[in-house]
Structure 1
Amino acid sequence: MYLPDDYLYSQKRYPVLYMFDGHNLFHDEDATYGKSWNLAWHIIEGKKDMIVVGQECSHHGNDRLNEYSPYPFADAELQVQQTGLGEKTMDFFVNELKPYIDAHFPTLPQRETTWIAGSSCGGEMALFAGMRYRDIYSRSLVISPYLIPTADYFLMEADQTFFDQPSFFYMSWGALEGNGKHAFVQETTICTELSNRLQEHGARIFFHVKPEGEHTESSWEEEAPLFLDFLFYYE
């Protein structure tokens, strides 16, 4: 977790950003590939009053892929076939994690100040959460989402999702992710079509397409000032 230094005595209450892959957020020594998002530094530098809750995932085999997919999928390149346990993951987020955080920390628990974020499979989950659990989360950071194997499911979900309250999605991806330009074209097509359908149903989308963007923590850290500003931007 990230907590403001003065949270115990400031008498303030804070918005909360829930994030996937918590081990990659704050410290290089905890990160899977030795590089974190360095998120606490960017929050302090940007003078953002907020709490961040980073949920840990399984590091056993390909369990993370299963935990962080709301739909069944197969990926020939990764040689995996998963049933998708993402709905169970979100059940934990909504019915166990959020109530615990609100009970033990000085949060602003209402929808307008409850947000969710992730990258790669975590970005896929942040998108799903912003759609399926739109009564809980008002803003979703969907960063480099791993959508190609589950695109058809997401398009069907988008067709059935209607937003009756303001819902905001930060959608970013990079040209240097995946294997060559074909993957970038696929990702761009999916993200654009999904966003179009969500906008038709009342969502608001902020796009950030990165010409030099890679599928790495270093690349995601570079956009931290932008997505943190997005969370605090109110029309």
Structure 2
Amino acid sequence: MRLGMFGVVLLLLVSAGSAHAQQKPPSATAAQAVTGEGVTGTLLRHAQFPSRHVAARNVDVWLPPGYDEATATRYPVLYMHDGQNVFDPSTSYTHVDWGVDEAMTRLIANGHARAAIVVAVWNTPKRLQEYMPRRAITGDTFVPTPGDPPFPTSDIVADDYLTFLVTELKPFIDAQYRTLTGPADTSVMGSSMGGLISAYAVLEYPDVFGGAGCVSTHWPIAGGIVEGYLAQHLPAPGGNRFYFDYGTEAIDAQYEPYQQRIDGVMRARGYRPGADLLSHRYLGATHNEAAWRARIEVPLMFLLLP
């Protein structure tokens, strides 16, 4: 059966792949090693990590080379959404993963990125509800894509998802692993809707997440309402860094005018291209894990500058 454009867009969106009080998270499962073809280095899985705010889901933790030996060393942390797509092709939505484990291994070895811990948070069937920035929506309903039925705003749980990351998952990771805990050493990254929630994480918690990697960010959702929210809630420059990119094929072909406006707003606010703002256009790139894998080193280098 052929899918129309609405069906393809919805499938990709749903299935793709100040001081804040910290509370003790529910007891998490012990980590189990993940091995297999396509996985490089030490990858640990906390299966069905529990939460008081959102549904339980797997959380994968990749440790940089030498972690076990360098017992006095602490590491920056990169949190990534759509975690099943990050390291392992056998769990990836398209059976092609982002290759973050391989890319990080290369970048660390050649000195192009800091050694870091990467925490990959799996998505759930409520991906759209968890990744759609809630405070950007002003009405009781919104239309994700033209032709969609109205979607109830009350179903959006992005704020709960960020509460999970900030008050449950991050404290657990900081307690369980040797991390550097401040915003300068804590970043968040994702693609499509994952790009939106990454930007939203920094807008809402600029003192927790110092950097956002927003890959093929799905700005057109709900008529571009997140664009206006970002313009109104952008942190003052100097404490946070934003990476944006987009391709020119498939859904990504819609993104350029939105991204150009976002870039203009950020430059006008005082963000400096190449310093705390990086925005790339990838000619011929489409909207899938293979495309993001092909350019993954660029945001990793920007977020994890040596």
TM-score by structure 2 length? 0.69
Name the structure 1 match of 2:102.
Answer: 41
Secondary structure of 1:29 counterpart: coil
CA RMSD of aligned residues (A): 2.0
Q: Residues 214 and 242 of structure 2 are in contact (CA less than 8 Å); yes or no, is this contact kept in structure 1?
A: yes
Q: In the alignment, which of 117, 126, 143 is matched to residue 51 of structure 1?
A: 117
Q: Quick check: 1:217 aligned with 2:289?
A: yes
Shift of 1:165: 3.7
Name the structure 1 match of 2:129.
Answer: 66
Shift of 1:74: 2.1
Shift of 1:5: 3.8
Taking the aligned partners of 1:229 and 1:173, their CA distance within structure 2 comes to 17
Name the structure 2 match of 1:2.
Answer: 62
> 1:193-208 counterparts in 2 under 5 A?
193-203=261-271, 204-208=276-280
Q: Residues 129 and 137 of structure 1 are in contact (CA less than 8 Å); yes or no, is this contact kept in structure 2?
A: yes
Taking the aligned partners of 1:5 and 1:198, their CA distance within structure 2 comes to 36
Q: Residues 219 and 226 of structure 2 are in contact (CA less than 8 Å); yes or no, is this contact kept in structure 1?
A: no
State the one-letter code of the partner of 2:174.
D
Unaligned runs of 5+ in 1: none
Q: Residues 206 and 235 of structure 2 are in contact (CA less than 8 Å); yes or no, is this contact kept in structure 1?
A: no
Q: Quick check: 1:171 aligned with 2:253?
A: no
> 1:155-194 counterparts in 2 under 5 A?
155-163=228-236, 165-178=238-251, 184=253, 186-194=254-262
Name the structure 1 match of 2:40.
Answer: none
Name the structure 1 match of 2:203.
Answer: 131
Q: For structure 1, which segment, 49-58 or 126-135, has the greater mean C-alpha deviation from structure 2 after superposition?
A: 126-135
Summarize deviations over 1:17-37 as a string: whole Å, max 9, x none.
Answer: 001000000010010121111
Label 1:164 to 1:223 Cα distance change in 2 as closer, same or farther (>3 A). Answer: closer
> 1:2-41 counterparts in 2 under 5 A?
2-10=62-70, 11-41=72-102
Structure exhibiting the larger radius of gyration computed from Cα positions: 2
Shift of 1:131: 1.8
Summarize deviations over 1:126-162 as a string: whole Å, max 9, x none.
Answer: 1111222111111110000112124224313422333
Taking the aligned partners of 1:121 and 1:218, their CA distance within structure 2 comes to 17
Aligned residues: 226
Identity %: 26
